[in-house]
Amino acid sequence: MLNAGSIIKCCEINGIRNDNKYIDHINCMKEEEYDMRHLIDPKDLSVEETGDILALAERIRDNMPAYSEVAKGKKIATLFYEPSTRTRLSFETAMLNLGGTVIGFPSADVSSVNKGETVEDTIRVISCYADIVAMRHPKEGAPMLASLYSRIPVINAGDGGHSHPTQTMIDLMTIKSRKGRLDNLTVGLCGDLKFGRTVHSLVKSLSRYKGNKYIFISPQELKMPDYMIQDVLDNNTDVYKESRQLESVLPELDVLYMTRVQKERFFSEDEYIRLRDCYILNAEKLKKAPKDMPVLHPLPRITEIAADVDKDPRAAYFEQVQNGVYVRMALIMALLVLTDPVTGKKII
């Protein structure tokens, strides 16, 4: 939940100018604005709330027709300043499945950002049109900044290389359905751990469940950022280790999370090309992995998972896409404080 302390901390982490403009604004916020829930970081939801939302996503999966009118008359605005296929369309599908409607823009080029409008002004305008907003932005911290000026709940749909909390909820739902638990797991995260926002959010979230361990598999140039190792994992080498190799650690894993090298965050094309194919999982390599080790990937995949893995029952990436719709339906209901027609209760 937003409060001045967490906002100031977030400004610092994200390098947003923590100047008087924002402090004055925070001090002037009304109580109901403080209390409104946004989803900027996975830890904005407690472990218990995360569990409640995942349980709702499962109920939706098992009984979709019961939820078809829950958000009738509500609108979601999808503000995407960065390319997306799955995330934007799955937010829109989620709202349509709930009986609501959709407005928004798919790229900064077709909005007033092109004319120089600030995120603060855009969100004040959108607050007059919609009931909830999903925002993707190339700048770390932009959705958090938007949430300060918004009169409607803001969902971070990915901010730069920082965070992607709704993808994390999807990953949790998929891991839980494949492994039956979210604790005592050894999770291998492979690929671009420096810029991959999905891995940052997932590790943040999994670190709140007991007994989880991580193997970070990346080239030296794309290793997990220091702030993740220090702030999230407390430098505790009992819970994580680093590997430059994928094959040798496969037998140790309960879950494998593959990621693409994030081309758009590189300064040099040559450097991207040099690192792009650093890990390629294929059916032959997968023989070394446990029979019940799901392979997750937030997608899009480029070359890091060969097509011959798709028919292996351990491939869970298209299941993630399907779970994305249920999770986003559940999140929209939770943040709009709608009543679950099946239980007759609010979600969080």
- Among positions 246-265, residues that touch ligand NCD (CB under 6 A) are 259-260
Q: How far is the CB of 110 from ligand NCD (least distance, A)?
A: 19
What tokens appear for 153 in the block? 């709940």
- The verdict on 161 binding ligand NCD (CB under 6 A) reads no
What tokens appear for 30 in the block? 């009304």
- The verdict on 323 binding ligand NCD (CB under 6 A) reads no
- Taking a C-beta distance cutoff of 8 angstroms, is the pair 304, 257 a contact? no
The Cα 303–Cα 195 span in angstroms is 17
User: How many angstroms separate the first and last alpha carbons of the chain?
Assistant: 12
Instruction: Specify the 3-state DSSP secondary structure of 138.
Output: coil
What tokens appear for 320 in the block? 């993630």
Nearer to ligand NCD, 2 or 94 (CB): 94
- The verdict on 299 binding ligand NCD (CB under 6 A) reads yes
Instruction: Specify the 3-state DSSP secondary structure of 254.
Output: coil
Nearer to ligand NCD, 50 or 168 (CB): 168
- The verdict on 241 binding ligand NCD (CB under 6 A) reads no
Nearer to ligand NCD, 259 or 323 (CB): 259
Residue nearest to ligand NCD (CB): 298
Among positions 43, 86, 208, 276, the unique one binding ligand NCD when judged by CB under 6 A: 86
Q: How far is the CB of 194 from ligand NCD (least distance, A)?
A: 13
Catalytically active residues are 86-87, 115, 136, 164
Q: How far is the CB of 182 from ligand NCD (least distance, A)?
A: 20
The Cα 220–Cα 218 span in angstroms is 6
- The verdict on 298 binding ligand NCD (CB under 6 A) reads yes
- Taking a C-beta distance cutoff of 8 angstroms, is the pair 29, 7 a contact? no
- The verdict on 197 binding ligand NCD (CB under 6 A) reads yes
Nearer to ligand NCD, 86 or 179 (CB): 86
The Cα 332–Cα 68 span in angstroms is 13
The Cα 334–Cα 348 span in angstroms is 6
Sign of the CA dihedral 147, 340, 164, 201? positive
Q: Using only the alpha carbons of the chain, give its radius of gyration.
A: 20
Nearer to ligand NCD, 129 or 318 (CB): 318
- The verdict on 106 binding ligand NCD (CB under 6 A) reads no
Q: Which stretches of the chain bind ligand NCD, using CB under 6 A?
A: 86-87, 158, 164, 167, 197-198, 259-260, 298-299
